Amino acid sequence: MIEDVTQDPAIAEVVIDEARLQARIGELGAQIARDYAWKNPVLVGILRGSIMFVADLLRQLDIPASLDLLAISSYSGRDSSGVVRLIKDLDHPIEGKHVLLVEDIIDTGLTLNYVLRSLRTRSPASLEVCTLLSKPARRLIDLPVRYVGFEIPDVFVVGYGLDYNQRYRNLPFLGALRVGA
């Protein structure tokens, strides 16, 4: 039997549907294109959760821009371990470049804090953050975030790149995971 993830009983509800996601990404893309005209920004996607977002955001930029990726690991299950590991570094130096870090979700802020500290030491011309989602209620570290797609309440969301134990990344929308699932 083919499993239909959109009908999975572990998904309690749709939090942000595909149309709303894409509309907001269009707005973010337009804003970033204005702010970064002539700056040739490097979008740095944080693997794996931000892959859908960084791909769609890049598609919305009608200015020259490049892409690099880094991979970190901070979570197992629902809770941040607080320990962040760099699994894959950037492929290219960012010294003197305008870097826009693209994240799926900022929860406690621990992950982003680690990544920002690491990238700052490489002397980029500028370093800003664009996150699709933010859960302000959970923040432990206050960080400067220039672009936020949606602020959401303290619910664990999956889909559109975000996972729960590596599942549900393939959903085209953001759904809330049923408590106890």
Q: Which residues bind ligand IMP (CB under 6 A)?
A: 49, 74-75, 80, 103-112, 156-158, 162
Among ligand IMP, Mg ion, none, what does residue 150 contact (CB within 5–8 Å per kind)? Answer: none
Nearer to Mg ion (CB atom), residue 29 or residue 49: 49
Cβ-closest residue to Mg ion? 49
> Tokens 């598609």 correspond to what residue?
59
3-state helix, strand, coil in the chain (%, to 5): 25, 35, 40
Q: How far is the CB of 62 from Mg ion (least distance, A)?
A: 27
Whether residue 48 is preceded by a cis peptide bond, meaning omega within 30 degrees of 0, is yes
Nearer to ligand IMP (CB atom), residue 104 or residue 128: 104
Per DSSP bridges, beta strands 126-134 and 147-151 are parallel
**Residues found near Mg ion in the complex (CB under 5 A):** 49, 104
Q: How many helices (H) and strands (E) does the chain have?
A: 3, 9
Selecting among 107, 142, 154, 163, the annotated active-site residue is: 107
> Tokens 């740095």 correspond to what residue?
44
Torsion of CA 78, 127, 124, 80, to 10 degrees: -10
Residue 32 and residue 100: Cα distance in Å, rounded?
9
| Active-site annotation holds for 107 | yes
Among ligand IMP, Mg ion, none, what does residue 115 contact (CB within 5–8 Å per kind)? Answer: none
Nearer to ligand IMP (CB atom), residue 39 or residue 138: 138
Q: How far is the CB of 95 from ligand IMP (least distance, A)?
A: 25
Residue 101 and residue 68: Cα distance in Å, rounded?
10
Among Mg ion, ligand IMP, none, what does residue 56 contact (CB within 5–8 Å per kind)? Answer: none
Among ligand IMP, Mg ion, none, what does residue 162 contact (CB within 5–8 Å per kind)? Answer: ligand IMP
- Active site residue ranges: 107
